Structure 1
Amino acid sequence: MADIKSIEKPDDRRDFPRGHLEVVNLPGLVFGKATFEPGWRWTESVREIAGTDLCEVHHNGYVVEGRMRIRMRDGSEGEVGPGDVFVATPGHDAWVVGDEPCVVFDFAGGIGEYARSG
């Protein structure tokens, strides 16, 4: 039998300023659905929770809706939008671009630690 869960009934939900994360745990997969509201920025909404200057979680992401800008520690930047698949390695900031929420599916195991006090 396959292991099946619905993101509509997550194993964990974490709320943070201007957003939230829902997490489902399956054998071999930690899946996250993050919703970031307009005005959300990692350094303003999650930094205090994580206790690090930049996001140190690895993300394998797929953008469902909205837009997000990602700036790496070295200053390089990119913008992702609906249909984009991306990898963001540890050491980045990110923020919502525009006035609509950004919804991201994350398939990296590290998302299980995202927005968790360390």
Structure 2
Amino acid sequence: MGPLVTMSFAEPTEVREFPHGRLELFDLHGSAVGRFVLEPGWHWAEDVAPLAGTSSCQQRHVGYVLTGNLQVMMDEGTHGVIKAGEMLHIEPGHDARTLGADTVTLIDFSDVATYAVDTATLRAAR
């Protein structure tokens, strides 16, 4: 593959569904960009933690929120709300949930290749 890679958001490489949401993955030459679609009522601790096998999200996120409001609670106690039109940088060690009646759609530019993958599946693949 050459040095220029383009891809349409209409054609994800892979879609991972979980309760109240999904992650659409786009493999851009080995870097997994993700589009999260999180429905009202989505809560990481309830909807993704069973897959992750951890008490908080250990994924780093760097992205942009297109729609909705996302509440983020860090393990060390800080918290905030990220709104549509805002960029985000969230370090590992957090929980999150949608707020209100709007779906949260966000683009995550960090490598999210292992997000929402069953930890037993990952261990078996190694």
Do these two structures clear the TM 0.5 threshold for a shared fold by scoring above it?
yes
Supply the distance in 1 between the matched residues of 2:116 and 2:10 (Cα, whole angstroms). 19
**Partner amino acid, structure 1, of 2:118:** S
- Matched-pair identity in %: 35
When normalised by structure 2's length, the TM-score is 0.89
Paired residue for 1:42?
44
Supply the distance in 2 between the matched residues of 1:61 and 1:50 (Cα, whole angstroms). 20
**Partner amino acid, structure 2, of 1:94:** A
Paired residue for 2:122?
none
- The Cα offsets for residues 31-78 of structure 1, whole Å up to 9 and x where unpaired, read as 100000000000010000111110000000200000000000101001
Supply the distance in 2 between the matched residues of 1:6 and 1:52 (Cα, whole angstroms). 32
What residue ranges of structure 1 are gaps of 5+ in the alignment? none
**Partner amino acid, structure 1, of 2:89:** V
Structure-to-structure mapping, 1:82-101, within 5 angstroms: 82-101=84-103
The 4+ residue runs of structure 1 with deviation greater than 2 A are: none
Paired residue for 1:20?
22
Paired residue for 2:31?
29
What residue ranges of structure 2 are gaps of 5+ in the alignment? 120-126
Q: How many residues align?
A: 117
Paired residue for 1:105?
107
Paired residue for 1:5?
7
Moved more, 5-14 or 93-102: 5-14
